[in-house]
Chain A
Amino acid sequence: MAIGAELHVASRYLVGTRRWTPVVTVTLISLLGLGLGVFALVVTLALLDGFQSGIRSQIEARAAHAEVRPTSGRRLAEPDRLASLLQGRLGEVEIVQVVRGMCLVGSGTGAVPASVVGRSDTDRTTVDSVLARRLGIGAGDRIEVISARQRLTPMGPLPVRFTADVGRLAPPAPGDEAGTVELPLDRAQRLLWGEPVVGAIELRDPADPWGLGDRARAILEEAAAPVRVAGLVELHRPLLTALALEKIMIFVAVGLMLVVAALNLLCNVAMVAAEKRKDLAVMAGLGSTPGSLRRLFLVLGLVIGLVGSVAGAVVGSAVAITLDRTEALELPSGVFMVSAVPFEIDPATLALVVAVALGLSAGAAWLPARLVARREPAEGLRYE
C-alpha cells in the first residue's frame, strides 16, 4: 500500500467520521493522556530549568569564570607575568590575583572558622551573609581575623591577627556553608603567609563565561607555563553534575506519566484494530500487504502521538511562559534568591520531550500493528 492510502484511511478513522464512534472516543482518550503527560513534563522541566538557570546566572555573576592554579603546592610562580600575558592576549577580561586560606574570625561574642580570600581588586573587608549570620554582625561592625600562622613575640609565639571594620555584606557563593571573609590582597598575604604569595589568578569574561577556561588554557599551554587552568565547569563540577542529575531524574520520574499514556494508547490502538478487523481483511483482499497494514496502525499511533504531544507541548509552554512573566507563584522573601517561581523553556528539552512522546507512541502502536499484520485476511471476514 502506498503511504498516501495509509494516511488517507488513518485520517478518516481519526477525523473523517460523521458520527461519534468508539474509534473517535478512544482516540480522544489517547490524545488527552499523551497531551497531559507531555504538559506535565514540559511544565515540570520548565520549572526546574527556571531554578537551575537562576543558579547558573548566580555562578556567572559572582564566581570566577576561570582560575589559574599552580600544578602543585599553593604558590603560583610568576603571577604578575602570567597576569600580563593573559591580559595581553585575552583583552577585555577581568584578572584578579587571589590568595586563600582558613582563619578564625571573631567578633565580640565569639569566633568561628571561615575561609579567607585576599583579592587584588578590593581595598575593603567584605563578609558574606552566612558568616555575618553566624557571628551576628553587620556592615560597620568590627571583626578580628586570627591566622594559624604564628610570629615570635617577647611573650612567645602568638598567632598573627588583625582587626578590620566590615565594609559591606555580600551574598554567599553557591554551596558555601562555612562563610567567607574577603580582604585586600596585601593584608591577606601578611595574614596567611607573611610574604607576597599569590595562590591563583581568577579570570572573568561576562561575554563568554563558559568558554573562557579553554581560551586561557590554550594561551598558557602555548607559553609552557607550569599551571593548571580550571574553567567554569571544572570549578563547579559537583554542583553542575548535581543539577544535571536532578534534571535527568525528574525527566525519568515525570516521564513515567508518558509511559502510562503510551500503554493507554496501546490498548486503544488494539481496540481500534479489533473494531476494524473487517476493514483490515477487506483492505488485504484489495491488495494491502502485511507491511502496509502494519504501517497503517503505526501512522494511527504516530498521528495520535504527534497531535497529543504537540498540543501538550504548546499548552505546557504557554502556561510556563505565562506563569514566569506574571510571576504568579510568589516565593517567601529571604528564603530563595528569587521572589517568584521561575520557569524557563529550553527548546532542546522541549524537542526531547516531544521526541520521547512520539517514540513511545510508535512503540505503543507497533505491537497491535504487528498482530494485525500477522493475521490471514480471511480471519477478519470469517466472523462477519
Chain B
Amino acid sequence: MSERPPMVRAEGLGKGYGSGPTRLEVLDGLDLEVPAGQMLAVVGPSGVGKSTLLHLIGLLDRPDRGRLALDGLAADDLDGNRRAGLRSRLIGFVFQHHHLLDELDALDNVALPLRIAGVRAAGARDRAAELLDAVGLTGRASHFPDQLSGGEQQRVSVARALAMRPGLLLADEPTGNLDRDNAERLFELVIELHLKAGLTSIIVTHNEEMARRCDRIFRLAPRAELSSDVRTV
C-alpha cells in the first residue's frame, strides 16, 4: 500500500506586495510540510506573513515563487475554476473576523458552501442544521450575524467551514476577537471537530497556550532561515 502524501507541501514559497522601492517581501523561500491528520499551529509576530501563508495554502492567493501541493496535487498551475473546485472540495476556512454574510441567517450561512457546490436547497439546509447542532447553536439557526454574540458568530463560521466535509481546515486567528472563555470554548470545539472528522488543521494564532495544544508549532520569522518547527507531542 502506498504511503499517503502530505496534506500540504510547500517548497521555496515566496510572496511579496507592492512594486519598486516600496515592495515588501512577506514570505521568502518558505518550506513546510503538513502530514494528513496533523494539527499545526502557526505562530509569529504581526506582519510576518502568517495570514499570507494561510491564503497561499488555501488557494486564495498565488505565490510569486515556489511550489505548493495539496493532498498530492500540484496546485501552482491550476486555473481559477480548478482552484475554486479544490477549495470547495478540500478546504474549510475559519477567518479571524467571522466573515459571515450579513444578509443570510445562520442556517443559510452554513448552507452557503453546499449551495455553491450545487447541493439542492433542502439538502443543504438539512446538513447546515446538523452542523449548527454539532456546534451547539440549534436554537440560533434563524438568527442573523448581527443577532449573534462574537463566540456564536465564530461557531457558525466553524460550522460553515465543515459543511463540505473538507480534509483541510485553515483557521486564521479564530479566537482573536473573543474573550478568554469564548476563545477557550471555541478552541475546544475546533480540537473536537478536528479529531472527530479526521481533519488536517492549520491554525494561525497568537495564543501560545493554545498553540501548545496542537500537534506541532511552526514559528514563522521575518527570515525563512530563522523560522522553527517544533513538535509538541
Check A285–B93 contact: CB distance below 8 A.
Answer: yes
Check B103–A287 contact: CB distance below 8 A.
Answer: no
Q: Of A13, A18, A287, which one neighbours B85 at CB under 8 angstroms?
A: A287
Check B116–A285 contact: CB distance below 8 A.
Answer: no
B120: min CB distance to chain A, Å = 8
Known: A377-B60, A381-B60. A286 touches B103 (CB 8 A): no
Q: Of A9, A13, A284, which one neighbours B60 at CB under 8 angstroms?
A: A284
The main secondary structure of chain A at its interface with chain B is helix
Interface size class of A (residues with CB under 8 A): 20 to 34
**Would you call A97 an interface residue if the criterion is a C-beta within 8 Å of the partner chain's C-beta atoms?**
no
A287: min CB distance to chain B, Å = 3
Check A283–B81 contact: CB distance below 8 A.
Answer: no
Check A287–B84 contact: CB distance below 8 A.
Answer: yes
Find chain A residues with CB under 8 A from B51 CB: 381-382
Q: Of A286, A381, A384, which one neighbours B116 at CB under 8 angstroms?
A: A286
Find chain B residues with CB under 8 A from A278 CB: 99
**Would you call A325 an interface residue if the criterion is a C-beta within 8 Å of the partner chain's C-beta atoms?**
no
**Would you call B164 an interface residue if the criterion is a C-beta within 8 Å of the partner chain's C-beta atoms?**
yes
Check A282–B95 contact: CB distance below 8 A.
Answer: yes
Check B118–A286 contact: CB distance below 8 A.
Answer: no
Check A290–B80 contact: CB distance below 8 A.
Answer: yes
In the complex, the chain B residue whose C-beta lies closest to that of A286 is B113
Chain A 278-304 against B: per-residue CB contact (8 Å), 1 yes, 0 no? 110111111111111000000000000
Check B101–A290 contact: CB distance below 8 A.
Answer: no
Number of interface residues of B (CB under 8 A): 35
In the assembly, what is the distance between CA of A12 and CA of B118, in Å?
18
In the complex, the chain B residue whose C-beta lies closest to that of A14 is B103
Check A2–B116 contact: CB distance below 8 A.
Answer: yes
**Would you call A59 an interface residue if the criterion is a C-beta within 8 Å of the partner chain's C-beta atoms?**
no
In the complex, the chain A residue whose C-beta lies closest to that of B103 is A12
B170-200 contacts to A, CB under 8 A, are none
Q: Of A285, A376, A384, which one neighbours B87 at CB under 8 angstroms?
A: A285
B101-122 contacts to A, CB under 8 A, are 101-104, 108, 112-113, 115-118, 120-121
Task: Given contacts A292-B116, A377-B60, list 9 more A-B pairs with CB under 8 A.
Answer: A2-B116, A2-B118, A9-B101, A9-B104, A16-B103, A286-B112, A376-B61, A378-B55, A378-B60
- What residues of chain A have their CB less than 8 Å away from a CB belonging to chain B? 1-2, 4-5, 8-9, 12-13, 16-18, 278-279, 281-292, 373, 376-379, 381-382, 384
Q: Provide 26 A-B residue pairs closer than 8 Å at the C-beta atoms, listed in order of the A residue.
A: A2-B116, A2-B117, A4-B121, A8-B108, A9-B101, A9-B103, A9-B104, A12-B108, A18-B144, A278-B99, A282-B93, A282-B95, A282-B99, A284-B60, A284-B87, A286-B88, A286-B93, A287-B87, A290-B80, A290-B84, A376-B60, A376-B61, A377-B60, A379-B61, A381-B95, A382-B51
